[in-house]
A and B are shown apart, each in its own frame.
Chain A
Amino acid sequence: MSQYILEMENINKSFNEIQVLHNINLKIKKGEVHALIGGNGAGKSTMMKILTGVYTSDSGTVKVNGETIKISSTKDASENGIRMIFQEMSLIPTLTVAENIFLNQKVKEKGLQIINKKEMERKAAELLATFEIDVDPSAVVNTLGVGYCQLIEIAKALSREAKILVMDEPTASLTEAETQILFGIVEKLKKKGVTIIYISHRMHEIFQITDSITVMRDGRHVLTTETKNLNMESIIEHLLGSTSAEKAFKRIKREKKVTGSNILEVKNLTINDKIKNINFHLKKGEIIGFAGLMGSGRTEIGEAIFGLNPAKAGEIILDNQKVKIKSVKDGINAGVALIPEDRRRQGLVLMHTVKDNMVLPVINKFRKGLAIDKKNVEKTVNSYIEELSIKTDSMNKTISLLSGGNQQKVVIAKWLETNPKVLIMDEPTAGVDIGAKGEIVNVIRNLANQGLGVILISSELAELMAICDRIIVLKDGRITGELDGDLIESEAELEHAIQQ
């Protein structure tokens, strides 16, 4: 018998006559945790969709345990013990945990299928207990946090025997504690002999839990090796190819110290019972970071200043003027812009064009008489496409067809056109490949150099360290510390500050 549980050989796939996978070979050993990494557009998700029967490959073979199998539907994959946990949550929010787990399963082999609710919940509880997921099986899913949903998703995938489990960015929406639970589950599965394919952008996780690693780039296989043979720099090198690895997150000292006047001052801001007495200030041209775990209040503070969920009490002083921000309109008029956390849901209208998305907040300003001045709009959009080097073949291209990094640049352009004094960016590089991350970081630096005050909210500590003049540490709705960007020695130090 082959030592490989899964061999995908010479896989080719094209969309719209564009080849996205070129003769890919992927071999996974039995019982290992195998990392699959690559930038956006590298083809890793397409590979996994072929494996799980969502797409069919144009050519190539798939072997499980040395035997060639035909995967033409998700059912075929499922019958071969291949399970996938999708990035997009597949749970039905109005059903209970137990109902979700057993949604598409037969109650018994033959005969009339009648659901026994108690029995089902008992089975669910058993399953959840094996993975130490502490959740009531009769709870309705929409009453649970995002992190729990992800764990339940895993339980669902494992409710039938799995030989190969694919996890696509499983920790993207998890808190630190939940991530640890997830890693516990991964360990247990490994002991049971389940093979795991683990897709992630987070290098630390890859070093922590994976045995082998496959790197893909631009639809081609780059290398497969044992994880311990690599380090962060070498992985980044393989990911980026010829482009230099250090470009992405190089720490650059600001040429001159930020000494200007305060552009933003926040005094005793109270948002709810948990997030209160927030005080901080931001100078002209300064970049401050908000570091903290999910639920620390970092997003809520940003949204309060922007006017999306206005603060209950406290003062916001912008450019030495006390302002009342009760709505997004107030926020925009006062000179605040917010790049939201979830680009696809909050930042963009995906079915509309680059142009329409970019001018939406200021569309009223583009009027000549009553009507929109098309020429002026196009001039503005073109100038941003050039300035931020947004890769799109036309401003009339539907924005969902752009890569994550280019979409994010459109969101940035959209808000720059409102002429903000303070730019709040919530996870601006989330779900963006490393190359584009570096570009976005450069854009932020340039904006600050032009005199904008920037608040950067991020889970990527390396990113915060790379560009922030100061980092404010938040925990459970309070500011627990402030660090000088120049004086932070390592990511570990910052991590420590957050975890404290």
Chain B
Amino acid sequence: MQTAKNLVDISVKTKQTKKTTINFSDYMVYIIFAIVLVAFTLMFGDKFFSVNNILNITKQTAMISIMAVACTFVIGAKEIDLSIGSTVALSSIIVALVLQSTNSILLAVLAGIALGATVGLINGMFVTKVGIPSFLVTLGMLSIIKGAAMWTTNTAAVPITNDTYNFIFGLGQIGPVPILLIWTVVALVIGYFVLNKLPFGKKVMATGGNELSAKYTGINVDRIKIAVFVMSGIAASFAGMLYAGRVQTARYTFGEGDELSVIAAVILGGTSMAGGVGTVIGSVIGSLLMGIINNGLIIGGLSISQQMMVRGGIIILFVALSTLGSRRKARK
């Protein structure tokens, strides 16, 4: 604090050096992304770096990316949502069941979205009106919804025979571009617009950055938090639809552990666990980065158990790198 005045007075001179440091840590995820991309290309050649493989990765990461977009808002508002993985599963099953009985895509999608919104609303209400930490509320919700997903069909898988549905929500391609990539881009564009161009985005980050100050500013922080949980729930239910469309079947095992992948992607992407800071693009890059690592490990011929260990280590390493970067910035 004591140095603040001097900083203001003299910083014009030092602008140049300062800019580079800030850029470096803010764009850490992009730097890591580029390094990993180049490294894998050098290691595996066109086994890795081919149009086909890259498009494949975007297909595999689409669901995580879409949920990561919504999760950026949740973590930006200094909350957490662990229930998304189960919401994926239950949503896929509900959508498949509605399709089975009505064969109406519209009804099925609406039912799925309604499920996600309801879960988000319940999460949000417990967090804001009852005052339970979101970690606990959504942890409980994770279990409830997973149970519900298993109970609904007695753990049986539900096939989806509606080809139009399967095309739009999973298998389709427009030219060479997989439809899952298109959905990812749509989510990214919406997320970017809401976070950066709408007052709502600013209010979310203000709530996460300093809740008390947001209250003193007249922001209805409860409503903001409920809204981000609803967004997160809807994104999860949408991801569930994509999982189902992709394999033409709904299963209660879909989305298992996705909540952790999503949170890892968001944090890798530069969103602060402490709230108030975050970018949607970073989150999607974080998700792609993890997809690329998965892909590279498979091409590299690692066994599933080895893959898991390496993946975990890489996540810690990368988050450590970006944390050290931002800490250095803060110290300066």
Contact = CB atoms under 8 A, between A and B. Distances in A.
Contacts of B3: 15, 18, 20, 41, 43, 46
A340 B1 CA distance: 20
Interface string B1-40: 1111111111110110110000000000000000000000
A44 interface: yes
User: Which of A332, A348, A351 gathers most chain B CB within 10 Å?
Assistant: A351
Contacts of A19: 6
B203 interface: yes
Nearest to A332: B218
Contact of B213 (A20, A345, A366, A433): A345
A328 B218 contact: yes
A348 B193 CA distance: 24
Nearest to B14: A17
A401 B329 CA distance: 12
B102 interface: no
Interface stretch (A139-147, A227-235, A357-365, A440-448): A357-365
Contacts, number: 130
A322 interface: no
B15 A393 contact: yes
A348 B203 CA distance: 13
B199 A352 contact: no
B323 to A, nearest CB: 15
B228 to A, nearest CB: 16
B324 interface: no
Interface residues of A, number: 53
B198 A349 contact: no
Main secondary structure on chain A at its contact with chain B? mixed
Contacts of B15: 393
A367 B201 CA distance: 13
B219 to A, nearest CB: 7
Given A16-B7, A18-B14, A361-B218, A348 B2 contact: no
Interface in A405-433: 406, 414, 433
B127 to A, nearest CB: 20
A346 B8 contact: no
Interface in A289-307: none
Contact of A372 (B199, B212, B218, B276): B199
A403 B8 contact: yes
Contact of A338 (B12, B18, B216): B216
Nearest to A338: B216
A367 B217 CA distance: 18
A406 B1 contact: no
A349 B209 contact: yes
Contacts of A360: 202-203, 206, 214, 217, 219
B142 interface: no
B198 A372 contact: yes
User: Which of A41, A45, A348, A392 gathers most chain B CB within 10 Å?
Assistant: A41
B121 to A, nearest CB: 21
User: Which of A42, A331, A360, A370 gathers most chain B CB within 10 Å?
Assistant: A360
Nearest to B203: A363
A371 B197 contact: yes
A345 B8 contact: no
B233 to A, nearest CB: 23
Contacts of A17: 14, 17
A45 B218 contact: no
B7 A18 contact: yes
Interface in A339-356: 340, 345-352, 356
A148 B245 CA distance: 63
A404 interface: yes
A404 B216 contact: no
Given A347-B216, A352-B276, A41 B6 contact: yes
Nearest to B12: A393
Interface in B252-272: none
B212 A346 contact: yes
Contacts of B1: 40, 45, 404
Contacts of A366: 199
Given A17-B17, A352-B205, A352-B276, A345 B5 contact: no
B14 A16 contact: yes
A106 interface: no
Interface in B176-235: 193, 197-199, 202-203, 205-206, 209-210, 212-220
A364 B11 contact: no
Interface in A36-60: 39-46
Nearest to B218: A328
A350 B202 CA distance: 14
Given A18-B10, A329-B220, A393-B11, A403 B4 contact: yes
A308 interface: yes
A356 B216 contact: no
A41 B218 contact: no
A402 B276 contact: no
Given A347-B213, A356-B202, A218 B6 contact: yes
Contact of B4 (A347, A393, A404): A404
State the 5 A-B residue pairs at the shortest beta-carbon distance, nearest first.
Answer: A41-B5, A328-B218, A349-B209, A371-B197, A363-B199
25 contacts: A16-B7, A16-B14, A17-B14, A18-B7, A40-B1, A43-B3, A46-B3, A308-B215, A331-B218, A332-B218, A338-B216, A346-B212, A347-B213, A348-B210, A349-B210, A349-B214, A352-B206, A356-B206, A359-B202, A360-B206, A360-B214, A363-B199, A372-B197, A393-B11, A403-B4
Interface of B: 1-12, 14-15, 17-18, 193, 197-199, 202-203, 205-206, 209-210, 212-220, 276-277, 332
Interface of A: 15-20, 39-46, 218-219, 308, 327-329, 331-332, 338, 340, 345-352, 356, 359-361, 363-364, 366-367, 370-372, 391-393, 401-404, 406, 414, 433
